Structure 1
């Protein structure tokens, strides 16, 4: 199992839209996430900062990410949620979410 942490920000004018979407995540999006080996996916929020955490239990992360990106329902979800997000650090060049390096873990 591999753990992932990531950060982004909400666009201030679209924060409530982003949160509303996540209060009712589409079942097809959740099914694809699960089918692609992701478990325990959680998004935390404080102010405009988003922190995401998930665990990957599959064997080929890159292939599973491509499969998720090819899913039409997920593409539509990203089209709705993407404009609500911005990079944690505007100078990073990231589209939105920035993956974090794991510094410590207590098992």
Structure 2
């Protein structure tokens, strides 16, 4: 498994809605995440900066990269667009972080 960390941004007035949508995540979205090798996925919110910190473990980059083209994922991106910063293809604006320390 490969660990990935990333940062996204939620709109200041959409914190509760962002959390609500994830509490009600579609079962088919969870299934696709699993099918694309995602495990141990968490997202944390810093309310002061509106920053979201995501952590996910994936089987491999190639399998994970295919998730972006998945129709369920693209529908999720469209669903989430009103609550967070997104790119022109509706994908979240996301900054990958470099892992500099890990301890089991």
Q: TM-score, normalised by structure 1?
A: 0.80
Equivalent-residue separation in structure 2 for 1:11 and 1:104 (angstroms): 30
Q: Does the alignment pair 1:72 with 2:74?
A: no
Q: 2:52 aligns with which of 50, 55, 69?
A: 50
Q: 1:102 aligns with which of 81, 99, 102?
A: 99
> Secondary structure of 2:100's partner?
coil
Give 4+ residue runs of structure 1 displaced > 6 Å after superposition: none
Give ranges in structure 1 of 5+ residues lacking alignment: 88-94
Structure 2 equivalent of residue 37 of structure 1: 37
Q: TM-score, normalised by structure 2?
A: 0.82
Equivalent-residue separation in structure 2 for 1:25 and 1:54 (angstroms): 16
Give ranges in structure 2 of 5+ residues lacking alignment: 87-91
The aligned length equals: 98
Structure 2 equivalent of residue 92 of structure 1: none
> Secondary structure of 1:86's partner?
coil
Structure 1 equivalent of residue 15 of structure 2: 15
